Structure 1
């Protein structure tokens, strides 16, 4: 997609933080603004204002996607345990939220995102190039239901639109961005292709306030910006795979939501940078009292 294109952010302007994290993939921000990332042995790390990471808990499995509710409890997708769990940072305890829908256990729970009604959407990626992926949803009352099987090609990162009306999903094989309307009754509308992403293995997505979306790719080592009214823009790239090393997901954070952080599953750090004029949108944080689990 970007042969011969220079990234907007030079590699010298990419900042490394959270040194020593264990091949982080997932990333989230709790309502108090604190960033957390996951590790390949089930760890959850807290990153402080100085960029220092501290392990606060572990599932004992392998944590991928992370999400936070309004109480600062952290949801983790664990494909080794085939479960979605929730961490209460106050006491370090884990609660299993779901092992999958009633008709099938999770195969590869990968990423999770809350919607405005408290629904927790989870990509169950399935086998690599197996064509058996699906999206499930954990309802506020704790029930796990199938959302759609139409996103079968390794559904990966996903995000609910700022207006709460759609779920956007990255399919990794082949690279593609798709969307589903979230109907009034909570069911999925038909799958619609937003963009083909040839030559990439897209992994994580975050919406920007201007209507664009920032996407991190497991392959190649790039972060780019999808734009609704123009061609995609290459934001950051690393042909040597050092500053960016299989960047897997994207988070806007900071007081103005203008800092972009991406974990790198290929190394032991998180990469941060800013793009002038680019800000994120607030995430959905369901109130704990509205969740029946």
Structure 2
């Protein structure tokens, strides 16, 4: 077990999530309870768009647009939200942010059935993307919705031409996901069980049956994830206060990196040498960074988009 030597990058967020690096190296984040999409410059939170609902996992598309999940207003109560849970009842969708700061809805249903609560997404090498679509459990008397009590959710795929389909059903709150560095498999975290599942990709958007890639334990609550250059999978454990480091090829947890905030929601690599691991902390409403011994896996982000001016806060 390792204690993180964390450096605070920016504060003042309401349930931070979705860290990703833009084509020009700028760090972007979303806020579930703040309903906004921001970039971070010199430690400042620059709000670029306010789509409302609950912006969640995000990634840059090959054409430079920021594509993000919007779960429709769900989040758990924590310090950054004043212990206020998300009310739900919004419009779950996959949305995108253009260079001029406009938000567009790309997808809100598949085959006529509305999406549940899109959570996270990742692109493949063909320009399509996978996203998780869990179902939130009924909230308890404290406003929490335990992932272990969630009904089965979906994993979905959207091809480059916009065609969408559900490619797997049955995980108990499918959450963070990532295509393996060789492009041969999709890894999906199941928050309700602590398992990371591996699905062989037989064709773009076609998955084989799930197999266990790693078991992080029942109190790990897997969330966002990323790979480093050596093939280790780094998984944020929301509610666990840790990032779990899974050995190349899966199976073994090599290390557990502990952070100050229990609500560690997501991770991404950035910095000039790709050795800075950015970590979103939802309860303290901030983004921190630690230095990693090797660079992160390079991700294709496409052409540089123009950035709207935004609101400096």
TM-score of the superposed pair, with normalisation by structure 1: 0.87
Cα distance in structure 2, aligned partners of 1:29 and 1:98: 23
- Aligned 8 A contact 2:62 2:127 in 1: no
**Match of residue 47 from structure 1:** 40
**Match of residue 144 from structure 1:** 164
**Match of residue 183 from structure 2:** 164
1:203 aligns with 2:220: no
- Superposed displacement of residue 146, structure 1: 1.0
**CA displacement, residues 154-193 of structure 1 (integer Å, 9 cap, x when unaligned):** 1000011122221111100111001111112531111111
- Aligned 8 A contact 1:257 1:280 in 2: yes
1:115 aligns with 2:124: yes
Q: Among residues 103, 106, 127, which one is paired with 2:136 in the alignment?
A: 127
**Match of residue 278 from structure 2:** 261
Q: Residues 211 and 254 of structure 1: is their aligned pair in 2 closer, same or farther, counting only changes over 3 Å?
A: same
Aligned residues: 272
**Match of residue 96 from structure 2:** 86
- Superposed displacement of residue 231, structure 1: 3.9
**Match of residue 234 from structure 1:** 255
Moved more, 226-235 or 212-221: 226-235
RMSD of aligned C-alpha atoms?
Answer: 1.9
Is the partner of 2:202 in helix, strand or coil? coil
Is the partner of 2:116 in helix, strand or coil? coil
**CA displacement, residues 13-69 of structure 1 (integer Å, 9 cap, x when unaligned):** 211111112221111111221110001232111012x23221111111111111111
Q: Among residues 271, 274, 288, which one is paired with 2:291 in the alignment?
A: 274
Cα distance in structure 2, aligned partners of 1:253 and 1:47: 13
Q: Residues 211 and 185 of structure 1: is their aligned pair in 2 closer, same or farther, counting only changes over 3 Å?
A: closer
Give the 4+ runs in structure 1 shifted more than 4 A: none
Judging by fraction of residues, say which structure has more strand: 2
**Match of residue 60 from structure 2:** 68
Q: Among residues 213, 220, 223, which one is paired with 2:240 in the alignment?
A: 220
- Aligned 8 A contact 2:23 2:303 in 1: no
**Match of residue 176 from structure 1:** 195
TM-score of the superposed pair, with normalisation by structure 2: 0.82
**Match of residue 69 from structure 2:** 77
- Aligned 8 A contact 2:64 2:303 in 1: no
Is the partner of 2:127 in helix, strand or coil? coil
- Aligned 8 A contact 1:262 1:271 in 2: yes
Is the partner of 2:120 in helix, strand or coil? strand
Cα distance in structure 2, aligned partners of 1:106 and 1:286: 27
- Aligned 8 A contact 1:101 1:136 in 2: no
- Aligned 8 A contact 2:58 2:67 in 1: yes
- Superposed displacement of residue 153, structure 1: 1.1
**CA displacement, residues 65-118 of structure 1 (integer Å, 9 cap, x when unaligned):** 111113331111111121010001x21111111013115211110001111111
Cα distance in structure 2, aligned partners of 1:146 and 1:125: 12
